[in-house]
Amino acid sequence: MTKISFEGRVAVVTGAGNGLGRTYALELARRGARVVVNDLGGSASGSGSSATAANLVVQDIRAAGGEAVANTDSVASRAGGAAIVQTALDTWGQIDILISNAGFLRNNRFEDLTDEQIDSILDVHLKSAFYVGQPAYRAMRARGYGRMLFTGSASAMFGHAWQANYAAGKGAMLGLSNVIALEGSAYGIQSNVILPTASSRLQGEMAPGFMEIPEFARSVQSADFSASEGRLMPEFNTPLALYLVSEACTATHGVYSSNSGRYARVGICAAEGWFAPAGIEPPSVEDIADHFGQIGELGAYSEPMTPYDEFTSVADVARKHGVLA
C-alpha cells in the first residue's frame, strides 16, 4: 500500500488547539505537511481567548521534528479568516489543504434559542466556512490544487434535540461543500464534509435536557458503549479526515461519517417516487395523499450531483413509468 504523504503540502487546520483539530494537525505534520495551527483558545461555549492552545500544539509538532506556526485569529470574522490564510501564504507561500473545524456549542430548546445563541453559532460554524474558505479557495485556484474538508455533524444530517442553531449551521456545510466541489473541479480543488464523533470538551456543553426524549436516552447509552470501548477518541476520526485531504483521494462532493471506528459515506438521494399522469394537469392534494406511501418509499433512488443530474434521473423515471416517450 502506498504511504499517504503530505510532503510539500501546506495545511490550515482551524480549531486545531484541542480535540479533533489537534489530532489532524499533529498527524498532518507527522506525515510531512507544514501546518498553520489556528485556534482562538476560548472555552467550549466560545467565550474568552488565549494563545496557549495553538502554541502548545505547535510546540508538540516542532518537538516531533515537524513544521508548524500558530495563528490565534477567530474564524468567525471576515478579517480573521483572511488573516488565517495569510499566515500560510506569508510563511510558506501556498495553501493546499483547509480543514475547517473550529467551533463551539450553545445548546438550547428550539423555542428558547436567543438571537445571540443563533448568531454566534451560525458565525462560527457557517460564516467561518466562507471567511476562511474564500481566501483559501482563491489561493488554491491560483495553483490549480486544493483539498477542502468541512466539518458537518450527525446532529445536522440526522437531527439532535436542543441543537437547532448548531444543526442549521452544520447542515449548511453540505450545500457549501457541494458547490465548492463543482466549481473547484475545474481547478483541481476537491471538497468534502466529515461528520466526526469524538469525546471532547464539547460534551460539557450538552445540556442533559434532551434526555427527556426516549430515543435520545437510548442513543446516549449506545454512545456510552462506544466510549467504553475507547472508540470515541478523537484519533479514530483522524485517518478518514487525512485521507479526504490527501492527493491520493479523488473523491469530492461527498459526506462521510466517522463514528466509533465505522467509516461510511452518508448519501443524499432522491427516491424514484410517484409520477403524476402524463399531461399538464397538476395532481390534486388527494392524489398526493393517495400516493404518499409511494412518495415516501426510498426503495429505488438516485444520487444527483447537481439539480441538472436530478432532471436527468427524473426523465429516466418518467420514461420508466411511460410518462415520457
85 binds ligand NAD (CB under 6 A): no
87 binds ligand NAD (CB under 6 A): no
Site string for ligand NAD, 170-189 (x = CB under 6 A): --------------------
**C-alpha cell read off for 140:** 488554491
Q: Cα torsion at 204, 74, 81, 178 (round to 10°)?
A: 10
Compute the radius of gyration of the chain from its Cα atoms.
22
* Tally of CB atoms within 10 A around 30: 15
14 binds ligand NAD (CB under 6 A): yes
Q: How far is the CB of 156 from ligand NAD (least distance, A)?
A: 9
Positive or negative: CA dihedral 200, 96, 30, 34: negative
192 binds ligand NAD (CB under 6 A): no
Q: Please choose, out of 100-108, 135-143, 181-189, 304-312, the segment that lies near ligand NAD by the rule CB under 6 A.
A: 100-108
Q: How far is the CB of 171 from ligand NAD (least distance, A)?
A: 12
157 binds ligand NAD (CB under 6 A): no
The residue count for binding ligand NAD (CB under 6 A) is 31
**C-alpha cell read off for 218:** 437510548
21 binds ligand NAD (CB under 6 A): yes
CA distance readout (Å), 136 to 95, 172, 269:
7, 19, 30
165 binds ligand NAD (CB under 6 A): no
> Is-catalytic flag, 166?
yes
Is residue 215 helix, strand or coil?
Answer: helix
Of 87 and 197, which CB lies nearer to ligand NAD in the complex structure? 197
Check if the beta carbon of residue 6 is closer than 8 Å to that of residue 25: no
Check if the beta carbon of residue 75 is closer than 8 Å to that of residue 84: yes
Check if the beta carbon of residue 232 is closer than 8 Å to that of residue 169: no
**Residue of 166, 187, 256, 301 marked catalytic:** 166
Among 10, 11, 13, 20, binds ligand NAD (CB under 6 A): 20
Site string for ligand NAD, 41-80 (x = CB under 6 A): xx-x-x------x--------------------xxx----
Nearest to 149 by CA among 222, 63, 245, 54: 245
Of 104 and 274, which CB lies nearer to ligand NAD in the complex structure? 104
Among 87, 120, 177, 200, binds ligand NAD (CB under 6 A): 200
Of 132 and 314, which CB lies nearer to ligand NAD in the complex structure? 132
Q: Please choose, out of 96-104, 110-118, 282-290, 302-310, the segment that lies near ligand NAD by the rule CB under 6 A.
A: 96-104
Of 203 and 284, which CB lies nearer to ligand NAD in the complex structure? 203
Helix runs in 193-299, H state only: 214-228, 238-244, 285-290, 292-296
Query: How many angstroms separate the CA atoms of 274 and 276, rounded?
Result: 7
Helix, strand, coil: what percent of the chain each, to 5? 50, 15, 35
202 binds ligand NAD (CB under 6 A): yes
Site for ligand NAD in 114-133 (CB under 6 A): 124
DSSP state of 108: B
The phi-psi region of residue 304 (left if phi > 0; otherwise alpha if psi is between -120 and 50; otherwise beta) is: beta
153 binds ligand NAD (CB under 6 A): yes
Q: Which amino acid appears at position 127 of this protein?
A: K
- Which residues are part of the catalytic machinery? 166
Query: Residues in the site for ligand NAD, rule: CB under 6 A?
Result: 14-15, 17-21, 38-42, 44, 46, 53, 74-76, 101-104, 124, 151, 153, 196-198, 200-202
